[in-house]
């Protein structure tokens, strides 16, 4: 997660899935650049991503985890973005 990310919720779902919702105040472009650079450095392979004006999303995987992140601009906070991760263990 980016430095300064604030975790707003953690949800444990069936099948070993985990959802972590955060708020980041570094802005959309900076947070997106972080995800594109740091996730591969940490061993996660990005898959099937897309970037639009107000949101972005991508699947990712490693040898032990697969997941998806979503990034959305906050409508009332210029530099604020919602960053959510959904992960599950690879069987």
User: Is residue 59 assigned to a domain?
Assistant: yes
User: Is residue 1 assigned to a domain?
Assistant: no
User: Is residue 78 assigned to a domain?
Assistant: yes
For residue 23, what pLDDT is reported?
A: 97
CB neighbours of residue 5 within 10 Å: 17
CATH number assigned to the domain comprising residue 10: 3.30.530.20
What whole-number distance in Å separates Cα of residue 2 and Cα of residue 5? Answer: 6
| Half-sphere exposure (Cβ direction) of 2: Cα atoms closer than 13 Å | 27
For residue 19, what pLDDT is reported?
A: 98
The domain tally of the chain equals: 1
* DSSP 3-state percent helix, strand, coil across the chain (nearest 5): 20, 55, 30
For residue 82, what pLDDT is reported?
A: 97
Average pLDDT by stretches of 10, the chain with 91 residues: 94 95 96 96 95 96 96 92 95 80
Domain that holds residue 42: 6-89
For residue 63, what pLDDT is reported?
A: 93
For residue 90, what pLDDT is reported?
A: 87
């Amino acid at each position: 997660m980016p430095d300064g990310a604030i975790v707003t919720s953690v949800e444990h779902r069936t099948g070993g899935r985990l959802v972590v919702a955060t708020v980041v105040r570094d802005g959309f472009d900076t947070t997106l650049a972080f995800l594109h650079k740091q996730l591969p450095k940490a061993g996660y392979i990005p898959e099937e991503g897309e970037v639009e004006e107000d949101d972005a999303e991508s699947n990712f995987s490693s040898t032990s985890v697969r997941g998806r992140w979503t990034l959305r601009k906050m409508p009332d906070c210029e530099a604020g973005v919602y960053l959510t991760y959904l992960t599950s263990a690879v069987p």
